[in-house]
Amino acid sequence: MKIFATSDIHGNIEIMNKLRASIANELLGVELIVFCGDAGARLGDIAGQQRDIANLRDVFQGLGIECRFVRGNIDGFTPNGKFYLNAEEEIAGESFVPFESILKTPFGTHREVDEEQMHADLQGLGDCCGKIIVAHNPPFGAVDKVPSGANVGSHSIADWITKNAPKIWLCGHVHESFGESKIGETLVLNCACDNGNDLLRGWLVDTETLIHSKVCV
């Protein structure tokens, strides 16, 4: 199937409008939109986050195709209703598995855990060989570099990917590392938008062939 994966819109209405227009006019043939978290704009503003996710849901509703999202570390709301990927789901023959744990940051955001707890949380995913993981946090050493040059991804995630070989690990979180990498045979894609510059970014992926191309609008 053909999917478009993006992340980290952070309430940016212009990016949401670009998403709506791109799917309608350019990304023909896409069967599923995957959003890897951080719909919300401001940490602690739950009401604002609720508005942000409602706006994103409105975009999804109007696209007329399947859409799924997970929460990022800014998103403190409790999801309900349509589009939330809260358990493994098979869509058009592909298994999509959500994972929302976030490695500790200096900012005290939501669902943060240390590496020990991250390891434990990952074990709860079960056998994911050949499946597509929809996460927010990147693995260590793959699309996780901040401007200082430091890698800030999770060692536990990287180790888990090596051992379990999912088909794709979709993530965002580290905006500066929008890009692609591989761990073994697993394709790792950071899908983060550049919300500061109103730039929609993401990846078009053929989940059968793993042929993929970046989108920057």
DSSP 82-148: TTB--S-EEETTEEEEEE--EE--TT--TTEE-HHHHHHHHHTT---TT-EEEESSPBTTSS-B-TT
Cα 142–Cα 193–Cα 31 angle in degrees, nearest 5: 90
Euclidean distance between CA atoms 135 and 196, whole angstroms: 22
How far the first Cα of the chain sits from its last, in Å, is 22
Residue whose pair of structure tokens reads 């670009």 in the numeric block: 18
Distance CA(158)–CA(180), nearest Å, equals 14
- Separation of alpha carbons 43 and 73, rounded Å: 9
Predicted pLDDT of residue 112: 98
Which CA distances in Å does 191 have to 130, 145, 174? Answer: 20, 14, 9
Topology of 2-216 in CATH?
A: Purple Acid Phosphatase; chain A, domain 2 (3.60.21)
Strands 32-35 and 2-6: parallel
Residues 6+ apart with CB under 8 A from 210: 167, 168, 187
d(CA 2, CA 94): 11
Q: What is the pTM assigned to this prediction?
A: 0.97
For tokens 């940016």, name the residue.
12
Give me the pLDDT at residue 25, please. Answer: 65
Residue 158 in tokens = 């990287």
Taking only the tens of pLDDT, the chain with its 217 residues reads 999 999 999 999 999 999 999 876 666 689 999 999 999 999 999 999 999 999 999 999 998 899 999 999 999 999 987 899 999 999 999 999 999 999 999 999 999 999 999 999 999 999 999 999 999 999 999 999 999 999 999 999 999 999 999 999 999 999 999 999 999 999 999 999 999 999 999 999 999 999 999 999 9
CA distance 59 to 206: 23
Give residue 80's pLDDT.
82
d(CA 75, CA 71): 6
Buried b / exposed e over 5-39, threshold 16 CB at 10 Å, is bbbbbbbbeebbebbbebbeeebeebebbbbbbbb
pLDDT on residue 23: 77
The predicted-structure confidence for 34-49, as pLDDT tens digits, reads as follows 999 999 999 999 999 9
Return the domain boundaries, the chain. Answer: 2-216
